[in-house]
Amino acid sequence: METKAAKKIKMRQEIISYLLVVLGSAMFAVGDVMFVNPYNLAPGGVYGLANVFHALWGWKISLAGVCMDIPLLIIGTIILGPRFGIKTIVSVILIPIFTFILEMFWGYAPLLHDGLYESSEGLTSYLAYSVGSGDEAITKYFVPDFFLNTVVSGIIYGAAIGVIFKAGATSGGSDIISMIIHKYTKISLGVLVLIVDSIISLSTLCIPGGDIRLPIYSIILIYVESKIIDLVVDGLKTYKTVFIVTDKIAEVKNFVLNDLQRGGTCFAGTGLYQGNERKMIYVTLGRTDLVKLKANLRILDPNAFVNVIESSEVMGYGFKALPEAE
């Protein structure tokens, strides 16, 4: 039975996770309305497709997004089962709400540009956006800065989705399509997500006046976004896992324990070439300790064999605490 303190901690964690969903949803809307949409980019997903629909027919992004997201969520639940939690449903509802608010009070004006103009006269390279709606809509023009906008868009999108993932939710969308196809084919989920997002990015070529730059910048945006998601979810990869095969096991062991003040595990193995029994030390270190280890291994055992592996996440005694049980 859970103690009162444990229940309090769990409740606090739940509140924080829902606040993260709200924050991530708001950031996603900002990235889409202020950065992605004005440049006619489509970095995959339902809202990438919504941006294309907006450019083609003037549909509101929020309306197009929710009209695709909710049916996909229902279909996904029917076909895949109830794997989409309450937080995902909250995210799917909040993103169009925040998007609609920005559409009403900000419009589709770009935040990053090289100049805003009332007319396209004299401009050799420009993009247009509308202010107002219906018969009162006014078209304005701006000189784009594609590269800077793409990088910033990727950072905001990645941070937003990373925060949502960190809260234990997803943003739904086209990933559900990939999951459904994956269920009935042998194609890996990662490949399917890439295919679906690439097709959505290529759909920018249908936009009147669009050119090959749009899908290219959209794909660059997806790449930046994926790196930021990894950074938010996993943190900086500051730890290295080291395997050391050595005949001077005592010397290396003492150095790890006493000088680096780290624990580790010792294995016995047999060499393939000569069949001799060798000892191997397995240890996880920070970057600073790894530098010290490499500098001293040449003295401790010049013939040692060392394999260093990047560790994206390390949990347990001396590192990050193991997660609480659900």
| Digit-coded pLDDT (tens) for 227-246 | 898 888 777 667 889 999 88
- The CA distance from 167 to 169, in Å, is 6
Q: CB atoms < 10 A from the CB of 218, how many?
A: 27
Q: How far apart are CA 173 and CA 60, in angstroms?
A: 17
Q: Catalogue all structural domains in the chain, each as residue range(s) with its CATH number.
A: 4-234 (no CATH), 239-311 (3.30.70.120)
Strand partners, 285: 240
Q: Is 186 helix (H, G, I), strand (E, B) or coil?
A: coil
Kind and range of the H or E run holding 172: none
Tokens matching residue 231? 């950074």
Over pLDDT 90: what percentage of the chain?
43
Looking at 255-264, 265-274, 300-309, which range is the least confident one?
A: 265-274
* Alpha-carbon gap, residue 175 to 190, rounded angstroms: 10
pLDDT (0 to 100) of residue 110: 96
For the segment 85-96, the average pLDDT, to the nearest whole number, is 91
Percent of the chain clearing pLDDT 70 (strictly above): 94
Q: Which of 272, 265, 258 is nearest to 242 (CA)?
A: 265
pLDDT over threshold 90, residue 95: yes
| Mean pLDDT, the chain, whole residue set | 87
pLDDT for 193: 79
Please report which confidence band the pLDDT of residue 66 belongs to, taking 50, 70 and 90 as the band edges: very high
Question: Smallest Cα–Cα separation from 268: which of 253, 281, 259, 258?
Answer: 281
Amino acid at 91: S
Q: Does the global pTM surpass 0.85?
A: no
Most confident of 32-36, 209-213, 222-226: 32-36
Instruction: Please name the residues in contact with 191: beta carbons below 8 A apart, sequence gap of 6 or more.
Output: none
**197 within 8 A of 174, measured Cβ to Cβ:** yes
Strands (E), 171-323: 239-246, 265-270, 277-286, 305-311
Q: Are strands 239-246 and 138-142 parallel, antiparallel or unpaired?
A: unpaired
Section 274-301 average pLDDT: 85
Q: What is the pLDDT of residue 278?
A: 80
What is the distance between the alpha carbons of residues 22 and 32, in angstroms, rounded to a whole number? 16
Q: What is the pLDDT of residues 162-214, one digit of tens each?
A: 899 888 887 777 778 888 888 888 787 767 877 888 899 999 999 987 789 99
Between 64-68, 86-90, 287-291, the lowest mean confidence (pLDDT) is in 287-291
Q: Coil, strand or helix: which one is 128?
A: strand
**What is the predicted pLDDT for the residue at 107?**
92
Those residues whose C-beta lies under 8 Å from the C-beta of residue 190, and which sit 6 or more positions away, are none
The answer on pLDDT for 325 being more than 60 is no
State residue 260's pLDDT score: 87
- Whole-number Cα distances in Å, 265 to 59, 271, 305: 60, 19, 16
